[in-house]
Amino acid sequence: MTDSPLSAPTARRRLARGSGGDRPFEAVVALAALTVLVVLTAAGVSMFLGGEPAFKAFGLKFFVSTDWDAVNKQFGALIPIYGTLVTAAISLLVGVPASFGIAFTLTETAPRWLRQPLMVAVELLASIPSIIYGMWGLFVFAPFMAAHVEPWLNDHFANTPLLSDLLTGPPIGIGMLTAGMILGVMIIPFISSVMWSVFTAVPAHLKESAVALGATRTEVMFKVILPYTRNAVVGAIFLGLGRALGETMAVTFVLGNAHDFAKSLLMPGNSIAAVIANEFTEADSDLYRSSLIALGFVLFIVTFLVLAAARLLLARLQRIEGAKV
């Protein structure tokens, strides 16, 4: 004998009892979500108010000026902004291919018994303090760049149009190229772990169907797995970019901390985070301190815009996929 279905009044009473128990939990979760928004807004407002004297003193010139003269109290954010964006771009050029290679190896080619230990080793890179990366970069990686990589770049690109300005210069080891490569190593665990997680979540029958049709492992990756996980992969890349934009200590060690505008990636430069870390304790005037806080607000806005662009790109990809269905 089958159970009779619940009558409508009985179902509504049970739903009401259940929803009554859910309301406190929903309120707590909503409060947690609102707390994030409140803290984020408060951080942005506090930095804007702290940097307001600098914005009033220099206006829009603050964003396009290369001046940074604490004695004459002339400050501009262009060089730190340029250094931040350049080093972050270099980090993506280094970190994204390496992360994809790691995720591809762990998903498709590595023996099963080796996959989990290798992934744990990669994720342990994320637990290393950034100051350790900076010390390693200064004492090990920078001398290696000065002795081997930068002389090679000078020998091979000195007469190459366009690239000669970017990839030639004095082989001193520290500079934007070295800082960007260090950042690339630092973002590898963040990007590769997300890629590996989503690659392993692809339904097995999709990959098996492609193999049955004669696809190679490379074709399975680029024609099946990547299209299926495209949104998550893009999100992982922007997650790494956000990490690279805000890095401080590792960049401070190897960037050179020079307030000079140079086309060459081998030359020392500066970044927003490095300027704040190096000079905040030395700010001897209200305008100097306000300029540093204004730089923090600029970094806050840049990071927010990058993450917002990531969300818009993901939404666009989802709309394109929906239109294809």
- State the pLDDT at residue 10: 64
Closest CA relative to residue 268, chosen from 68, 80, 93:
80
pLDDT in single tens digits along all 325 residues of the chain: 445 555 566 656 655 555 556 778 888 888 988 998 999 899 999 999 999 999 999 988 999 888 888 888 899 999 999 999 999 999 999 999 999 999 888 888 888 888 888 878 887 888 888 899 999 999 999 999 999 999 999 998 888 888 888 898 899 999 999 999 999 999 999 899 889 889 988 888 888 888 888 888 888 888 889 888 888 888 889 888 888 888 888 899 999 888 888 888 999 999 999 999 888 888 888 999 999 999 999 999 988 888 788 778 777 777 766 655 5
Taking the domain 58-324, which CATH number applies? Answer: 1.10.3720.10
- Alpha carbons 183 and 192: distance in angstroms, whole number: 14
What's the whole-model pTM score? Answer: 0.85
- State the pLDDT at residue 253: 92
- State the pLDDT at residue 94: 94
- State the pLDDT at residue 231: 82
Residue 69's DSSP bridge partners are 74
Each domain of the chain, given as residue ranges in start order, spans 58-324
Phi, psi (rounded to 5 degrees) for 93? -60, -30
- State the pLDDT at residue 1: 45
Residue 171 CB burial class (10 angstroms; 0-12, 13-18, ≥19) = middle
Number of neighbours of residue 53 by Cβ within 10 angstroms: 16
Can you spell out the DSSP letters for 54-75? HHHHHTTHHHH---EETTTTEE
Give me 14's structure tokens: 């049970």
Alpha helices (H) in the chain, listed in sequence order: 8-58, 61-64, 78-104, 112-124, 130-136, 142-144, 150-157, 163-167, 176-200, 204-212, 217-220, 226-228, 230-246, 249-254, 272-279, 286-324
- State the pLDDT at residue 128: 87
- State the pLDDT at residue 306: 81
- State the pLDDT at residue 17: 57
